[in-house]
Structure 1
């Protein structure tokens, strides 16, 4: 091996190690996206299967709720809706046209069960212009009623979601303990019911907002990361070959006594 070749290999050591680190990261991200894809498909299958359970199951015991086992189960509950203690949570819902969303609120109403316990019910969506309960009085179901829907655990507040302001009634996530404390409900179920799309007088709120069409773009993301890994290999290979060939040419010129090429 000539001195020029050895020098070129030494010069490639640092960028080669850096490229290997980046390559490992890109492959790891691609593999992680494939794992997320499998997890998302299993979740969708689970939601679909549980959403078709007939008849709906009774509510699980408040102190025995296990989100990993019980979430998305279809249940029924009978009691009285406490409309005077409803909470509006900011949200979006699909509009009349594809790709268009309506801005408004989810109506979370306590349901006082026959045995005196309370569970929160997300009755559905109302547009911003129907924020005032007086404008949708027809939808205030009175007396004993039976609610069917899917169990959901309390919704954690994401990093970029604003904090709630109970004093002004501004809520941005369906925080079961927080809403219960703000409304003075006392002990409530550690979950809420996402109500089915059942007919309601006046048409609002519209239930059935829990949709199974969860975004599943993980395969595209995996291809992106793997594609970047392939590009990295190609770029480094081209760089290394050019460097090795350049040093080989310089070594040949030096052996022949020829002057180096002008820059």
Structure 2
């Protein structure tokens, strides 16, 4: 059964504990089009640094010293043609062999997020929040719904009624119960270690959707994939940069966070 997200999510927010002393600033980097592996490595480095701070804070708790605030990061980017397989995914859901991957100028990587196989490529907005949920709310279910809600509200600004399908993580068009053509517009896949998050969301703005034809997206065989450009029609002009700037305020507001712009390195 599908569910209307707004009222449900708002009630969840009211239950979220507030910790004004914790760090609610998110350092935002706009990376543009970047290779997948170095970006993944950058995420791992940021996560490891945050976990090291948390470990040190536990040690100083017994001394009465003030803990060091943990940072929060958000990497926004696009990738060249890339397929990634989560740790619970099935390799057979990639329908291309090595030669075909090369012919399509695509790469394939097994990674440590949850979920099955997905595609990244030009025209897709990818967001990687590396945040300490202890700064916000240590609840992975709430965190996933927060990412979804930011996308849902962004798409509403384009006149699209996006929502959730119960039991299927991500954001969908045609999500209402009985709708004839449910189609996924945003995939989510995360890892969480001691409440520090890794990986994130991939929102289809204007990618080449034919690349999804070479996988079983997220292991789902009976539902389509779509994009913002496809839903708006050929007369609409939409860019990743525009969607990025519309989505960021929604995500920050839902987290109760503020942004600090960080230069790309």
Q: Decide which structure has greater strand share.
A: 2
Q: Give TM-score, length-normalised by structure 1.
A: 0.20
Larger Rg: 1
Q: Decide which structure has greater helix share.
A: 1
